[in-house]
Amino acid sequence: MMQSVPEVKTTVEGIIKGMKRIDTKYYSDGGVDVIVQVDLEGMMASTVAKEVVKKAPAEKKEEPAAVKPDTNVKKEEPKKEEKKEEKKVEAKKEEKKEEKKVESADTTGIIINVKGHSYQPVMFPRILDDKNNEIFALEKADQSLVNEGKVVSYYLNENAAKNSDRVKDRPVVINAVSVRNKSEIIIKSDDAKRINRELFKTGKIAIVVD
């Protein structure tokens, strides 16, 4: 190793030059032994260690692997539970629609409550929804009822209206949302869908006023 590594060789030679003679032995054949003392433990060990570190292969730093997007990833389909919930919601919507149809067909009269809206009673009221669609007007009433002035009746409370023969035992009750021009009644469009329009023609209308 000393011959192949110049630094080690130079260091060893320097150590030998600084040796300390301890004893000398002479032999009859002319040979001589010179006993010397040198410090190999510290200087030699550090020199060899440095050389080993130089020759040790440097550790390669691993570069993080580039993550490529997976184009084959499948989109998660809605879970069965979610699909069931969606079906339930749709079913409920359909049930409500059917309920409205049944209610409309089964009702025997219409009660519209206009209390608190400063309504002025008239013989032939006009009723519209909140989208300005006309629900009822004079021309939609039966002519015989118009002639007799029996298109609509007025009451001071709902109980009195419900107990009247005009709307009988299964009336639909609707609260007005506002009054326009003192005698035009405005109701919600959803409430308008609950009304059986045939009841207007037969004069089955009761209006609750202040």
- The string of DSSP letters for 12-69 reads HHHHHHT-EEEEEEE-TTS-EEEEEE---TTHHHHHHHHHHHHHSPPPPPPPPPPPPP
At 180-199, the pLDDT tens digits run 999 999 999 999 999 999 99
Query: CA 100, CA 191: separation in Å to the nearest integer?
Result: 9
Query: How does residue 203 score in pLDDT terms, banded at 50, 70 and 90?
Result: very high
The predicted model gives 104-120 an average pLDDT of 91
Helix axes of 43-55 and 6-17: crossing angle, nearest 10 degrees? 170
The predicted model gives 73-80 an average pLDDT of 60
Pairing of strands 126-129, 134-136: antiparallel
Report the percent of the chain where pLDDT is more than 90. 41
* Candidate ranges 44-53, 89-98, 126-135; pick with highest mean pLDDT: 126-135
pLDDT at 52: 44
Distances (CA, A) of 208 to 111, 144, 152: 7, 24, 11
Encoded tokens for 125: 């009221």
Mean pLDDT across the chain = 76
CB 111 within 8 A of CB 167: yes
At 158-176, the pLDDT tens digits run 999 999 999 988 999 999 9
The predicted model gives 76-84 an average pLDDT of 64
Query: CA 200, CA 110: separation in Å to the nearest integer?
Result: 8
Helix (H, G, I), strand (E, B) or coil at 71: coil
DSSP string, 47-62: HHHHHHHHHSPPPPPP
**62, pLDDT greater than 70:** no
| Partners of 201 in the β-ladder | none
Query: CA 163, CA 108: separation in Å to the nearest integer?
Result: 12
Query: CA 75, CA 71: separation in Å to the nearest integer?
Result: 11
Place of tokens 């006309």: 134
The predicted model gives 123-130 an average pLDDT of 95
